[in-house]
């Protein structure tokens, strides 16, 4: 079986992690890297001389790569993913997949139409601790699940194009759906705008999610907290897990 030919779009904050991982996978070959900044491409050529680089997304999509990873600013996710799917490429798209429901639905429809895989980078679903928590819930060891509290706070990075819910909460929502095995019936959210008032971008938010099995989940996300905290508490009728 031939290795999957991979192209990566975006070598800023998160893209280099994808480069490192794909370089270590025998099932994949990192063929192309695209970024609009030439200094990043120069650094990439120095570290990985066998990889082709370009500032043109069109050039990468016209190549023979089988799949692309999109790790660019959030506002560009939907457009780039749509171009990649239309070009016949499989897509691994960093979260959030889009900034509107309509964009997300259009991407799903295009992936189905093109018979291509569209996968979102919900990395925590592959975290051993999260998988253990899912198994504890599924086995009934915790009893009936009453509610879940989840906290994901830190100081920065302040995103210029989306609020803190779009930036951080996708992790918590994906984890909750994964460990509970239920869909969200309704969401209530409130938040505050403190740092980016002129742009109207929320820096902090609280979400309450009601799941189909009557489980309640509270999610707190913030870019404006002095401590980086990643914590979830699951409360069941027999046991609790932190």
* pLDDT surpasses 90 at 41: yes
The pLDDT tens digits for 55-80 are 999 999 999 999 999 999 999 999 99
Kindly indicate the confidence band of residue 163, based on its pLDDT and cuts at 50, 70 and 90.
very high
Q: All domains of the chain, ordered by start, with CATH?
A: 4-121 (3.40.50.720), 124-241 (3.30.360.10)
- pLDDT of res. 226: 97
Q: Which regions of the chain does DSSP assign to beta strands (E)?
A: 4-9, 28-34, 52-54, 67-70, 90-93, 118-120, 145-155, 184-192, 204-211, 216-222, 224-236, 240-241
Mean pLDDT for the stretch of residues 189-198: 97
In this prediction, what percent of the chain has a pLDDT beyond 90? Answer: 96
pTM above 0.85, yes or no: yes
* pLDDT surpasses 90 at 1: no
């Amino acid at each position: 079986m031939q290795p999957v030919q991979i192209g990566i779009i975006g070598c800023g904050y998160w893209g280099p992690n994808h480069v490192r991982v794909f370089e270590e996978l025998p099932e994949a070959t990192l063929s192309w890297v695209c970024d609009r900044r030439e200094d990043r491409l120069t650094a990439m050529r120095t570290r990985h001389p066998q990889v082709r680089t370009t500032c043109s997304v069109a050039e990468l999509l016209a190549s023979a790569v089988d799949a692309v990873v999109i790790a660019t600013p959030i506002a560009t996710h939907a457009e780039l993913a749509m171009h990649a799917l239309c070009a016949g490429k499989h897509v691994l798209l960093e979260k959030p997949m889009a900034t509107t429901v309509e964009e997300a639905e259009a991407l799903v429809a295009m992936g189905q139409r093109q018979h291509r895989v569209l996968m979102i980078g919900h990395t925590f679903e592959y975290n051993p601790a999260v998988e253990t928590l899912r198994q504890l819930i599924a086995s009934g060891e915790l009893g009936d699940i009453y509610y879940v509290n989840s906290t994901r706070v830190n100081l920065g990075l302040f995103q210029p194009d989306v609020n803190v819910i779009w930036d951080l909460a996708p992790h918590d929502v994906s984890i909750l759906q994964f460990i509970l095995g239920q869909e969200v019936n309704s969401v209530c959210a409130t938040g505050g705008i403190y740092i980016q008032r002129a742009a109207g971008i929320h820096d902090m938010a609280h979400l309450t999610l009601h799941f189909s099995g009557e489980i309640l989940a509270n999610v707190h996300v913030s870019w404006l907290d002095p401590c980086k905290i990643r914590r979830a508490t699951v409360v069941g009728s027999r046991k609790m897990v932190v």
